[in-house]
Chains A and B, each alone.
Chain A
């Protein structure tokens, strides 16, 4: 057996022995997702055990080095782990902005002390992170942000307001883009700092969305304190980190368009809800066409994710294609939920059901706004891929 085959066999056996049965059932709602953090209450013993066992193996962040809480797996091994988890329908042991966003940024831009301090806690789900990017007057034009960060000699003092900070009311720490130079050009006066939210200078307020849910907050900084060793990268060079992170975020949000991940295919849902006619075709012929085209686009999108990733592996680089994936994936996800609403009929219009389709449908409308709007992605594609000129 080759090394990879051995690894696959061992991984399969370990997962079989260690993944609790309950953690192989489909998520009933987003409340079943494990986010971790100081204030986290596990929904079940199985959820706790699953996280602990995976963290112990370093498999919550399989590709990170062992000294940072990972398992040091190669890309090929990590893919095998992913495949094997998928094969037994294992839930993700930990969802985390620390893993998806801050981690990659620290690995690339952080110093050794920062990596050793923060990465293992992220890997074990001990600290929950929030992202402080957008401001009331800095949305698509993120680089015009104005949250002020002043040098107080032995520490920084932060004043300002962030918005759309995901789950900030449940987070322990926040990574924040701040302005450290008001004289410089707007991209050149931004720094990237890590702030402990457990202090009186940081307060949060949830924002209620059209979906009726509040996954986002406003976060206020009033003379908030930040230790100097929590500056990541160089002073005033935070914009490069921000751009790097946005790429990760795009890939993550774009990935939602793939429609696998435990989601039943749209056609099966529609067939169940609307029924088939005597020719075995969906009883609503116009919807049938729309569903089929959306499913075909879903297949093409999945194949594109696969192709773009495989190309990156052979050294061709995903690069600005993350914008294409983000654009298409989110627009596709919105289309899918429009069809879901169509096929749900009046049942889907009920508001007070737990986890109803209407709330999901409304939530998807943010997909093409968060992480850079569709229009911003199209700008990036035209500039960086098609190399169309700027005026």
Chain B
């Protein structure tokens, strides 16, 4: 398979670019921030995305989706990274849809996938318990209770948890704290008794949540996949999200470079356009090269998720590790090369360094994935 976008994906990219730059540019995020929006995203924009089929990008056709795959989902995420559009696309259309379509029961699929495709349900994924991502460390407990389970514990950094209809939660049904065996996935309705959601305002002006589970009673049909055997599924769901985030960071990095290069062509100091100075030219050219590498490994990873999802873990970690580094370099360099104006809130470039920091940390930062890559490589 060639490492280029198919014609279909290329058309989606153009459509996404057009829609997002017209209807959801960086100024939309600024407005949501300044107005302290309760949702943290624009419902009208989200509805328009659903209408265009984006929310169904990973939903099979028989459940109302368009099933275009991860490359297509990545194309949309990449364009969102350029405009910093806030939406539950990652947590719902990528991770929620992937979780259900791969591991859901027929009943779960039938109930939730059409709603995801229609933009009528929002999903979130709750894994982290400490300040650093470590999905195998699960202390949230699920004890057998009557016909189902009783959950107790706390999850943090649950992106879109404050607006989610359904939160996918990992809990321990057996085994000790850092064992893969004994982890079970549950679909927890946000409105269920005993669920408390505390909104976290994040540095990127988007929202996450701390989710407290206090004797939350769930039926056995709330289990996604197998009891005690949920860890592999969790990793697969996380991997789809990690790849989506990598694609988003790729878009942000490209946008940072383009905005910076434009600025280098305008700004004059010492009587010259500053882009004529070799000190800045070389920084920009190095950044360009790093971004090209990041773009390539992200596309390769998305293709792997479509073709061989069970063998994608190493590529996903490589992509998240690399793109996390590259996007942070891009965000940092663009502020330096913009100089003083890059430090002002009035100028948009500062929004990128904030979002990239969060995207880099979400579901494992570059350090986490470098370590995981080495583990998978058996050294």
B295 neighbours in A (Cβ, 8 Å): 304, 307
Q: Are A313 and B2 in contact (CB under 8 A)?
A: yes
Q: Tell me whether A121 is interfacial, beta carbon within 8 Å.
A: no
Q: Are A385 and B288 in contact (CB under 8 A)?
A: yes
Q: Are A311 and B4 in contact (CB under 8 A)?
A: yes
B284, B293, B322: the one contacting A328 at CB < 8 Å is: B293
Q: Are B288 and A307 in contact (CB under 8 A)?
A: no
Query: Considering the chains assembled together, what is the distance between the CA atoms of A387 and B285 in angstroms?
Result: 10
Q: Tell me whether A349 is interfacial, beta carbon within 8 Å.
A: no
Q: Are A381 and B288 in contact (CB under 8 A)?
A: yes
Q: Tell me whether A267 is interfacial, beta carbon within 8 Å.
A: yes
Query: Considering the chains assembled together, what is the distance between the CA atoms of A375 and B278 in angstroms?
Result: 10
Q: Tell me whether B273 is interfacial, beta carbon within 8 Å.
A: yes
Query: Considering the chains assembled together, what is the distance between the CA atoms of A292 and B4 in angstroms?
Result: 26
Would you give the shortest CB distance from A265 to chain B, in whole angstroms? 8
B265 neighbours in A (Cβ, 8 Å): 387-389
Query: Considering the chains assembled together, what is the distance between the CA atoms of A293 and B278 in angstroms?
Result: 28
Interface residues of A in 346-391 (CB under 8 A from B): 375, 377-379, 381-383, 385-391
A282, A299, A300, A382: the one contacting B285 at CB < 8 Å is: A382
Interface residues of A in 62-86 (CB under 8 A from B): none
Contact with B along A278-289 (1 / 0, CB 8 A): 001110000011
Q: Tell me whether B370 is interfacial, beta carbon within 8 Å.
A: yes
Q: Are B297 and A303 in contact (CB under 8 A)?
A: yes
Q: Are A375 and B275 in contact (CB under 8 A)?
A: no
Name B's interface SS: helix
Q: Are B370 and A293 in contact (CB under 8 A)?
A: yes
Would you give the shortest CB distance from A312 to chain B, in whole angstroms? 10
Q: In the complex, what residue of chain B is closest to A299 when comparing beta carbons?
A: B318
Query: Considering the chains assembled together, what is the distance between the CA atoms of A247 and B301 in angstroms?
Result: 29
Q: Tell me whether A241 is interfacial, beta carbon within 8 Å.
A: no
The total of Cβ contacts below 8 Å across the A-B interface reads 134
Q: Are B296 and A296 in contact (CB under 8 A)?
A: no
Interface centre among B280, B299, B322, B374 (most CB of A within 10 A): B374
Q: Tell me whether B111 is interfacial, beta carbon within 8 Å.
A: no
Q: Tell me whether B289 is interfacial, beta carbon within 8 Å.
A: yes
Q: Are A267 and B374 in contact (CB under 8 A)?
A: yes
B285, B296, B371: the one contacting A304 at CB < 8 Å is: B296
Are A300 and B282 CB-contacts (below 8 A) given A281-B379, A306-B3?
no
Are A328 and B289 CB-contacts (below 8 A) given A296-B370, A300-B296, A382-B284?
yes
Q: Are B374 and A291 in contact (CB under 8 A)?
A: yes
A289, A306, A310, A324: the one contacting B370 at CB < 8 Å is: A289
Q: Are A378 and B272 in contact (CB under 8 A)?
A: no
A327 neighbours in B (Cβ, 8 Å): 285, 289
Contact with A along B287-313 (1 / 0, CB 8 A): 011001111110110000000000000
A6 neighbours in B (Cβ, 8 Å): none
Q: Are B293 and A382 in contact (CB under 8 A)?
A: no
Would you give the shortest CB distance from A260 to chain B, in whole angstroms? 14
Query: Considering the chains assembled together, what is the distance between the CA atoms of A387 and B281 in angstroms?
Result: 10
Q: Are B2 and A300 in contact (CB under 8 A)?
A: no
Interface residues of A in 300-333 (CB under 8 A from B): 300-301, 303-304, 306-308, 310-311, 313-314, 321, 324, 327-328
Q: Are B293 and A301 in contact (CB under 8 A)?
A: yes
Interface centre among A296, A304, A388 (most CB of B within 10 A): A296
Q: Tell me whether A297 is interfacial, beta carbon within 8 Å.
A: yes
Q: Are B289 and A379 in contact (CB under 8 A)?
A: no
A288, A313, A314, A387: the one contacting B379 at CB < 8 Å is: A288
Query: Considering the chains assembled together, what is the distance between the CA atoms of A59 and B4 in angstroms?
Result: 28
B318 neighbours in A (Cβ, 8 Å): 296, 299-300
Q: Are B373 and A296 in contact (CB under 8 A)?
A: yes
Q: Are A276 and B379 in contact (CB under 8 A)?
A: yes
B31 neighbours in A (Cβ, 8 Å): none
Q: Tell me whether A235 is interfacial, beta carbon within 8 Å.
A: no
Q: Are B292 and A321 in contact (CB under 8 A)?
A: yes
Q: Are B3 and A382 in contact (CB under 8 A)?
A: no
B378 neighbours in A (Cβ, 8 Å): 271, 280
Query: Considering the chains assembled together, what is the distance between the CA atoms of A327 and B287 in angstroms?
Result: 12
Q: Are B286 and A300 in contact (CB under 8 A)?
A: no
Q: Are B379 and A391 in contact (CB under 8 A)?
A: no
Q: In the complex, what residue of chain A is closest to B264 when comparing beta carbons?
A: A388
Q: Are B379 and A304 in contact (CB under 8 A)?
A: no
Q: Tell me whether A270 is interfacial, beta carbon within 8 Å.
A: yes
Q: Are B261 and A388 in contact (CB under 8 A)?
A: yes
Q: Are A310 and B4 in contact (CB under 8 A)?
A: yes
A172 neighbours in B (Cβ, 8 Å): none
Interface centre among B3, B289, B299, B378 (most CB of A within 10 A): B289
Query: Considering the chains assembled together, what is the distance between the CA atoms of A270 and B378 in angstroms?
Result: 11
Chain A residues with CB under 8 Å of chain B are 265, 267-268, 270-271, 276, 280-282, 288-289, 291-293, 295-297, 299-301, 303-304, 306-308, 310-311, 313-314, 321, 324, 327-328, 375, 377-379, 381-383, 385-391
List 16 A–B pairs whose Cβ atoms lie within 8 Å, in order of A's numbering.
Answer: A267-B379, A280-B375, A282-B379, A291-B374, A292-B373, A300-B297, A301-B293, A306-B300, A307-B299, A308-B292, A327-B289, A377-B285, A382-B285, A388-B280, A390-B276, A391-B272
Given contacts A293-B321, A293-B370, 11 further A-B contacts (CB under 8 A): A300-B294, A300-B322, A301-B293, A313-B2, A327-B285, A378-B282, A381-B289, A387-B261, A388-B265, A389-B275, A391-B272
| Closest A-B pairs by Cβ, 7 of them | A303-B296, A382-B281, A381-B285, A300-B293, A300-B297, A304-B296, A292-B374
